[in-house]
């Protein structure tokens, strides 16, 4: 097979997503089509120093893979090893027969993700080489391997994938696949079939290996010893409150924890804390105030300004790590719970609660600006028959495929598709007139029908189809958002009564 017919897969032994996808590729028998590129999403990982943060992230990653690929057996390893040696070994053996090399790669994955072995141990790698029927190289050119690995690392961290796993590229067609796809989507990718790009809302894993910590204050490095934190977190320093504001405005990601030292900043530290809390962007960020000494009055002032906690002495690295670790774990748990509360588990679309919030917000904005707001209510035709005859597992996969098809029809950042409940979905289209909303709804109907998911028990068509009802209004003080949804629901029933697999509107 020529290189142009191959698929590039960016692979990391630290990531269970890679293991699960590797297993699926083996099941499909397409492993020979893959040109693997070894990368590291946690270059600082070391089996000699496993922190609570590492273990927590491992547990979370394994839980997500178990949810998405229950047929793959995984254990939670006791540590996260450096994968540099394993990647250098595979690079050194890259000229070997592809089946043996693929077998070695699988053995390395299984050694870590199923047996919990240390794949940074040379003895373990030598044993796995022998099991794969390969000879361990007498000498590995670490320099050449590292240069190639660094190039691949740069490609994976570039604009196309932003350090997310798994990431695949078809070299011949330049198609990209991001996220953890369904088996059907993965099969289509390897077959070279036309398929939609996986939307951001369905991407499986946006790896942010290190939480971000910002320390504010001239001389804060001396008063806050973060030696123990640097391996696990991204730590940045700024000297003043104005520098902090500038730094924050330049970041694409919100820091998980901000520590403000009052020693030099004095009252400006309290003002900065208050400004952060008044900005909804930073309301969930942990803000710690570092005071010179215990002082009840200043402690109360810090809490009044919105501080998450008040500390006095973080000069001991162990104490600093323990205190800040606690807040970062709480921040991570809070973020996870917040996400779970807003996302539908099955389709990974926003859920009914998030739809209600979005509709209310857009209603108020539309009333203020006197702009049209449209709602599209969607129902999968004869979905009960589909479930009863094909099984609930196939029904779940059908829901996911329908969601992917419909979300591709939304092209504006303000538009939102949510799962309304059961087999019903709803789209909120701010600033969209009725004609434009009908076009979007029709595009969804066409996209779902064109997927050609067989449905022999539907009176609407031989494939899975949807019906859609559209309603549009300029929000005013005489009506409420609920009425807009009710009119869309009435239009949906008209679409069903007229044969389904179509769009109806109601003003």
Q: What are phi and psi of 173, to 5 degrees?
A: -100, -10
Give CA–CA dist 498/504, Å, rounded. 9
Which residue in 171, 423, 424, 494 is the catalytic one?
A: 423
Least confident of 176-185, 223-232, 247-256: 176-185
**H helix runs in 77-141, sequence order:** 84-92, 98-113, 122-131
Least confident of 8-22, 363-377, 469-483: 8-22
The pair of structure tokens assigned to 156 is: 């994976």
Which residues, at least 6 apart from 149, have a Cβ–Cβ distance to it below 8 Å?
A: 38, 39, 40, 84, 87, 88, 91
Q: Pick the residue with more confidence: 123 or 200?
A: 123
Convert 329-353 to b/e letters by CB count within 10 Å (16 or more is b): eebbeeeeeeeeeebbeebbbbbee
pLDDT tens per residue across span 187-234 = 666 666 655 444 433 334 443 446 789 999 998 888 888 887 776 788
Which residues, at least 6 apart from 251, have a Cβ–Cβ distance to it below 8 Å?
A: none
What is the CA 75 to chain-centroid distance, rounded? Answer: 22
What confidence score (pLDDT) does residue 383 get? Answer: 95
pLDDT band at 381 (very low <50, low <70, confident <90, very high): very high
What confidence score (pLDDT) does residue 199 get? Answer: 41
Give CA–CA dist 98/105, Å, rounded. 10
Give CA–CA dist 114/116, Å, rounded. 6
**Strand-pair category, 503-506 with 175-178:** unpaired
Q: What is the mean pLDDT of the chain?
A: 82
What confidence score (pLDDT) does residue 200 get? Answer: 37
What confidence score (pLDDT) does residue 81 get? Answer: 80
pLDDT tens per residue across span 72-120 = 677 777 777 888 888 888 888 878 777 788 888 888 888 888 787 888 8
The pair of structure tokens assigned to 423 is: 């087999």
- The CA-atom distances, in angstroms, between 92 and each of 96, 138, 143, 479 are 9, 10, 11, 69
Q: Pick the residue with more confidence: 485 or 31?
A: 485
pLDDT for 321 beyond 90: no
What confidence score (pLDDT) does residue 261 get? Answer: 94
Give CA–CA dist 345/419, Å, rounded. 10
The pair of structure tokens assigned to 449 is: 């029908």
The pair of structure tokens assigned to 170 is: 């078809």
Q: What angle do CA 158, 160, 162 make, to 5 degrees?
A: 55
Least confident of 257-271, 278-292, 334-348, 377-391: 334-348
What confidence score (pLDDT) does residue 484 get? Answer: 93
Q: What are phi and psi of 284, to 5 degrees?
A: -100, 0
Other CB atoms within 10 A of residue 144 CB? 12
Other CB atoms within 10 A of residue 174 CB? 7
Task: Tell me which H or E stretch contains 378.
Answer: strand 373-380
In the annotation, is 423 catalytic? Answer: yes
Check if the beta carbon of residue 440 is closer than 8 Å to that of residue 427. Answer: yes
What confidence score (pLDDT) does residue 197 get? Answer: 46
Check if the beta carbon of residue 429 is closer than 8 Å to that of residue 415. Answer: yes
pLDDT for 127 beyond 60: yes
Check if the beta carbon of residue 45 is closer than 8 Å to that of residue 81. Answer: yes
What confidence score (pLDDT) does residue 4 get? Answer: 40
Give CA–CA dist 269/240, Å, rounded. 9
Give CA–CA dist 21/189, Å, rounded. 13
pLDDT for 31 beyond 70: no
Give 497's strand partners: none
Give CA–CA dist 240/355, Å, rounded. 41
How buried is residue 503: exposed, middle or buried, by Cβ count under 10 Å (0-12/13-18/19+)? buried
Q: What is the mean pLDDT of residues 272-280?
A: 91
């Amino acid at each position: 097979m020529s290189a142009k017919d191959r698929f590039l897969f960016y692979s990391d032994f630290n990531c269970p997503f890679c293991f699960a996808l590797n297993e699926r590729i083996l099941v499909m028998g397409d492993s020979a089509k893959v040109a693997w590129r070894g990368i590291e999403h946690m270059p600082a990982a070391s089996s000699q120093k496993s922190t609570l943060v590492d273990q927590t992230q491992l547990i979370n990653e394994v839980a997500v893979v178990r949810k998405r690929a229950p047929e793959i057996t995984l254990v939670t390893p006791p540590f996260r090893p450096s994968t540099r040696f394993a990647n250098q070994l595979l690079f050194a053996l890259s000229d070997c027969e592809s089946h043996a090399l693929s077998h070695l790669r699988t053995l390395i994955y299984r050694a870590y993700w199923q047996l919990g072995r240390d794949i940074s141990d040379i003895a373990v790698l030598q044993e796995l080489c022998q099991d794969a029927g390969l000879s361990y190289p007498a000498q590995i050119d670490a320099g050449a391997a590292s240069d190639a690995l660094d190039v691949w690392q740069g490609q994976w961290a570039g604009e196309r994938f932003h350090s997310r796993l798994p990431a695949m590229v078809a070299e011949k067609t330049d198609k990209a696949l991001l996220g953890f796809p369904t088996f059907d989507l993965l099969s289509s990718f390897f077959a070279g079939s036309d398929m939609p790009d996986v939307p951001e809302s369905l991407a499986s894993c946006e790896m942010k290996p290190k939480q971000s910590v910002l320390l504010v204050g001239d001389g804060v490095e001396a008063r806050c010893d973060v030696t123990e934190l640097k391996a696990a977190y991204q730590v940045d320093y700024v000297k003043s409150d104005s520098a902090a504001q500038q730094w924050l405005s330049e970041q694409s990601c919100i820091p998980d924890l901000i520590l403000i030292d009052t020693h030099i900043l004095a009252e400006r530290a309290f003002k900065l804390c208050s400004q952060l809390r008044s900005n909804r962007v930073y309301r969930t960020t942990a803000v710690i105030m570092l005071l010179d000494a215990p002082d009840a009055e200043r402690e109360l002032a810090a809490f009044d300004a919105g501080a998450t906690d008040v500390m006095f002495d973080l000069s001991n690295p162990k104490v600093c790590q323990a205190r800040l670790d606690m807040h970062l774990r709480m921040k991570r748990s809070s973020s996870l719970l917040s996400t779970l509360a807003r996302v539908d588990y099955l389709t990974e679309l926003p859920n009914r609660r998030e739809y209600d919030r979005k509709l209310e917000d857009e209603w108020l904005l539309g009333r203020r600006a006197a702009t049209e707001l449209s709602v599209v209510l969607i129902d999968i035709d004869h979905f009960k028959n589909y479930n009863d005859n094909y099984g609930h597992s196939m029904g779940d996969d059908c829901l996911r495929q329908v969601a992917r098809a419909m979300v591709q029809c939304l092209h504006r950042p303000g538009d939102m598709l949510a799962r309304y409940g059961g087999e019903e979905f709803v789209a909120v289209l701010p600033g969209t007139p009725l004609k434009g909303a009908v076009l979007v709804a029709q595009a969804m109907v066409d996209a779902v029908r064109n997927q050609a998911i067989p449905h022999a028990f539907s009176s609407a068509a031989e494939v899975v189809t949807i019906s859609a009802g559209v309603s549009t209004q300029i929000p005013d003080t005489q009506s409420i958002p609920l009425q807009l949804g009710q009119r869309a629901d009435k239009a949906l029933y008209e679409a069903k009564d007229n044969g389904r697999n179509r769009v109806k509107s109601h003003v």
